[in-house]
Amino acid sequence: MSLPFILASSLTDKSKDDTRRVNELLFTELENLQREYKRERQVVDQLTKDYVESKDYDPVRRYEKLKVMVKRTIMHFKVNSEEQIKGAAAAAANQGTQAEALKRCEEKYSKMTRQELIEENTLLSEQIKNYRRKLSIIADLVQQLEDLYEESKRYAMMQRYRLLKTMIKGVIYDKLI
């Protein structure tokens, strides 16, 4: 074999390895975002379930239930935010699970060409972008919910009751999440 062929082959392998490493990082980030979205989506789904169930109550008891639902939803997101800050330590513990998933992909990576890896990286990047967008929308909705909830405290019960219903509907019926 000639030296240029060996160098070209070595460069191709190196660039494929770099592309594979990027793929692994993207895959790991996507898994983390999917887990986070699932957690946040479960909170919204619970709010939806509680809201539907609250329709069976008379307005006075429902008013109290609506307040509790809003407070609990806001609290879940605050706790999740704090957990994300502490998430670096948890991520280290979670690396074992991620390492197993990456090992399963090793065989797949070895059969893929560099171009196929690049295409998959593009798809993974798009999925990551989509999950980040959804997470951002949920965070904005909950922040809005918290702001409106605080503002609603200055209204009388019947006005506040209508505001609470409107606030909750704004979160649970949002089509973008």
* pLDDT attached to residue 125: 96
* pLDDT tens readout for residues 127-153: 999 999 999 999 999 999 999 999 999
* pLDDT tens readout for residues 60-92: 999 999 999 999 999 998 887 666 656 555 555
| pTM (two decimals) | 0.78
- Say how far residue 15 (Cα) sits from the centre of its chain: 31
Q: For residue 7, what are its two tokens? A: 């160098």
Q: 10 Å Cβ neighbour count for 167?
A: 24
Q: How confident is the model at residue 102 (pLDDT cuts 50, 70, 90)?
A: low
Q: Determine contact, residues 84/36, Cβ cutoff 8 Å.
A: yes
Domain boundaries, the chain: 3-172
* pLDDT attached to residue 9: 42
